[in-house]
Copies of this chain bind each other. A is one copy, B any other.
């Protein structure tokens, strides 16, 4: 299903999908809400999870901590329906645009997005401010 990588020009301007996996066989995958544009999460895919994502239309990653294929939402019900799959100029990153299912909480904390905190700078000191709204489920009751 995936093509061999050609020259730089072919990779950047061609129509062959030839994603570049790193030394561990992984490629970074950004997940974005297809309607709101909000970044929901970031994870890695291997060739198998990328093929499964494309074939099933449900976002599937590779869990580095558990060392196994990870159908997002398998346990929580918070699956992600794939609307569009994109790649970048050198085809070493995947961007999937999705419609969240279930309660619409992509993060294991119950938040809509994993990116629920902003970095603030005051007098050269950093701190985090929660800008992500209330959790949509109680993780203690789901996992």
Contacts and interface: CB of A to CB of B under 8 A. Distances in A.
Interface of A: 1-3, 12-17, 28, 30, 32, 36-39, 41-42, 54-55, 84-89, 93, 95, 107-109, 111, 114-119, 121, 124-129, 131
A125 B1 contact: yes
A93 B95 CA distance: 15
A131 to B, nearest CB: 8
A125 B55 CA distance: 10
Nearest to A109: B89
Given A14-B128, A42-B28, A127-B15, A85 B118 contact: yes
A38 B41 contact: no
